[in-house]
Amino acid sequence: MAFLPRAQGGRPPDRLAEAAPRGEGDMRRRRLTLARAVGGDPAIRCGATSRRRVGYNGRVTLQILLTNDDGIRAPGLAVLRAAVDGLGEITTIAPDHNASAVARGITIDRPLHLEPVTFGASWPGLACDGTPSDCVRIGLLGVRGPAPDLVVSGVNCGANMGADVTYSGTVGAALEAALRGRPALAFSVESRTPGWLSEAIPLVRAMVEHVIARGLPRHSILNINFPDRPPADFAGIHPALLGGASCCDRVFLSADSAGPAAPAGAPAADPFAGASEHFVPCDHPTAGEWADTDFDVVGRGCVAVTPLRYDLLDPELLAELATWELDLERLRV
């Protein structure tokens, strides 16, 4: 087993090791694996083809960044912090407010502010006045703690399934990490007011340990959704397809007579009072299209594990564009 040399300047080398999957020559799908410092054997599995020792002196401390979109005081983040306790050195950077449904949005119009806080069982963290992706980007800089080897986002109160993943700040934070070359997971639970969140700690930990041991393809994440029931009643854990658009999405429109918002410091009125409710149109999936999607798996009482990649390119339409005769001179006429 080969050791990675210490880099110039005294900085340990990156703890991410790469290996192509077994039997595959396409290096675009390299896998990222991580060294573990929590066991006695510093050797790790590298892809599916070899074992190697990674890190200075054969052992490193895994750096894990936690974030979410529900805010640093949210119960799901405390559950996540408890689940990864002891798996490495933990840094938590999360929004100081509820930043749900901001996707991969970032702050570009002002400097970001970080405030040291404690959350959950008096764990230290940094509250950021930006978005979940802002938090990941700050973490990757390594200026407020070690840069992460692994990013874990959640646990979100409310499912992130189907096309809703494109809205999700929880999933957006994980994708931000993956696009920057870090393995990442996003955890969510079906209900906005879950009844058994803390009981899922062992399962959350087990999934993180799987990624530490096995790695993920570069630029991919795992999006994991739990049903809202006691883990003892889970019907299983299954890989799942990504479902389509939710047919339960609603838009609330304010009444014309609603008037201005309440002044600062005044008691807040019900923001939905007098609003009209509208369901967003969607294509209802057929039974065959629904089967084995994340919606279906969670609906059957199972944990859904969906691998995601941030690749928006439509290769079929790209090929078709060659027949469009996109001639600049002709388009100017």
Buried-exposed string 106-143: b where 16+ CB fall within 10 A, e elsewhere? beeeeeeebeeeebbeebebbbbbbbbbbbbbbbbeee
Q: Are residues 214 and 137 part of one domain?
A: yes
What does the pLDDT look like over 140-177, one tens digit per residue? 999 888 899 999 999 999 999 998 999 999 999 999 99
Q: Are residues 185 and 101 part of one domain?
A: yes
Domain-embedded: residue 146: yes
Residue 301 has pLDDT above 80, yes or no: yes
Q: Are residues 126 and 41 part of one domain?
A: no
So what's the pLDDT on residue 6?
Answer: 32
Q: Are residues 179 and 294 part of one domain?
A: yes
Q: Are residues 34 and 70 part of one domain?
A: no
Residue 304 has pLDDT above 80, yes or no: yes
Q: Are residues 129 and 45 part of one domain?
A: no
Q: Are residues 228 and 179 part of one domain?
A: yes
So what's the pLDDT on residue 49?
Answer: 29
What does the pLDDT look like over 95-147, one tens digit per residue? 999 999 999 999 999 999 999 999 999 999 999 999 999 999 999 999 888 89
What does the pLDDT look like over 238-285, one tens digit per residue? 999 999 877 667 777 887 655 555 555 666 667 777 788 787 777 666
In this prediction, residues 279-295 reach a mean pLDDT of: 76
Domain-embedded: residue 124: yes
Domain-embedded: residue 323: no
CA–CA distance, 81 with 75 (Å, rounded to integer): 10
Q: What percent of the chain has pLDDT over 70?
A: 75
Name the 3-class secondary structure at 157. Answer: strand
So what's the pLDDT on residue 235?
Answer: 94
- Structure tokens belonging to residue 317: 């339409």
Domain-embedded: residue 318: no
Give the CATH number, domain containing residue 111.
3.40.1210.10
CB of 148 within 8 A of CB of 181?
no
285/311: higher pLDDT = 311
In this prediction, residues 1-17 reach a mean pLDDT of: 38
In this prediction, residues 184-202 reach a mean pLDDT of: 95
- Structure tokens belonging to residue 124: 């230290």
CA–CA distance, 265 with 273 (Å, rounded to integer): 19
Domain-embedded: residue 252: no
Domain-embedded: residue 317: no
Residue 2 has pLDDT above 60, yes or no: no
- Beta strands 43-46 and 50-53: pairing type? antiparallel
Q: Are residues 130 and 42 part of one domain?
A: no
What does the pLDDT look like over 23-71, one tens digit per residue? 444 434 455 555 433 333 333 332 332 222 222 223 578 999 999 999 9
Q: How many domains does the chain have?
A: 2
Domain residue limits at 132: 63-242+288-309
Q: Are residues 101 and 51 part of one domain?
A: no
Domain-embedded: residue 279: no
Domain-embedded: residue 326: no
Q: Are residues 68 and 52 part of one domain?
A: no
